[in-house]
């Protein structure tokens, strides 16, 4: 099955399951924005530098792991593939960020669900005919939780 997955879901999955996500990704196709790669690695930086939950070495290894997994097992979409006017329309009409609207538009364009723990996406995606899964729902769906 195909899913759009944002960083609010990908980062916790990476932290909980690490390289074992490869098995899940072999059975499912995750679609991410190029932005997701930056957001996920930035989240690892924050876990290390700001929150001091991870040591820098672990954060760096997880970042490398994520990049390897994303490059090999996900479909990375560029913002250039999206209709920027449509994304802006969603953002303005819902009062959400352009980032969040881009995930909604990517899922809408491909007719696939989006997995997010971002309230703005969870609340607004259904307005555009997009099925949504929270992190907990997505883990269960994938047989992880």
Asked whether residue 141 is assigned to any structural domain, the reply reads no
Q: What are phi and psi of 97, to 5 degrees?
A: -70, 155
Domain encompassing residue 45: 2-133
Task: Determine which helix (DSSP H) or strand (DSSP E) holds 32, and give its type and residue range.
Answer: strand 29-33
pLDDT of residue 139 exceeding 90? yes
Question: 12 falls in which pLDDT band (50, 70, 90)?
Answer: very high
Asked whether residue 111 is assigned to any structural domain, the reply reads yes
Question: 19 falls in which pLDDT band (50, 70, 90)?
Answer: confident
Asked whether residue 46 is assigned to any structural domain, the reply reads yes
pLDDT of residue 112 exceeding 80? yes
- How many domains does one find in the chain? 1
Which CATH number characterizes residue 68's domain? 3.40.50.1010
Asked whether residue 31 is assigned to any structural domain, the reply reads yes
Task: Determine which helix (DSSP H) or strand (DSSP E) holds 74, and give its type and residue range.
Answer: strand 74-77
Asked whether residue 138 is assigned to any structural domain, the reply reads no
Question: 145 falls in which pLDDT band (50, 70, 90)?
Answer: low
| Per-residue burial over 47-78, b = 16 or more CB atoms within 10 Å of its CB, e = otherwise | bbeeeeebeeeebeebbebbeebbeebbeebe
Asked whether residue 21 is assigned to any structural domain, the reply reads yes
Asked whether residue 139 is assigned to any structural domain, the reply reads no
Asked whether residue 124 is assigned to any structural domain, the reply reads yes
């Amino acid at each position: 099955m195909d899913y759009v997955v944002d960083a609010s879901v990908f980062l916790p999955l990476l932290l909980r399951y690490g390289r074992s996500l490869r098995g899940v990704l072999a059975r499912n196709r995750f679609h991410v924005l190029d932005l997701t790669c930056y957001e996920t690695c930035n989240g690892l930086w924050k876990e290390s530098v700001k929150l001091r939950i991870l040591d820098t070495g672990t954060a760096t290894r997880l970042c490398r792991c994520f990049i390897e997994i994303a490059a090999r097992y996900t479909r990375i979409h560029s913002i250039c593939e999206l209709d920027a006017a449509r994304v802006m329309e969603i953002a303005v009409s819902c009062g959400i960020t352009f980032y969040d609207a881009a995930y909604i538009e990517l899922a809408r364009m491909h007719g696939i669900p989006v997995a997010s723990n971002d309230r703005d996406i969870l609340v607004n995606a259904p307005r555009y005919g997009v099925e949504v899964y929270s992190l907990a729902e997505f883990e269960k769906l994938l047989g992880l939780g």
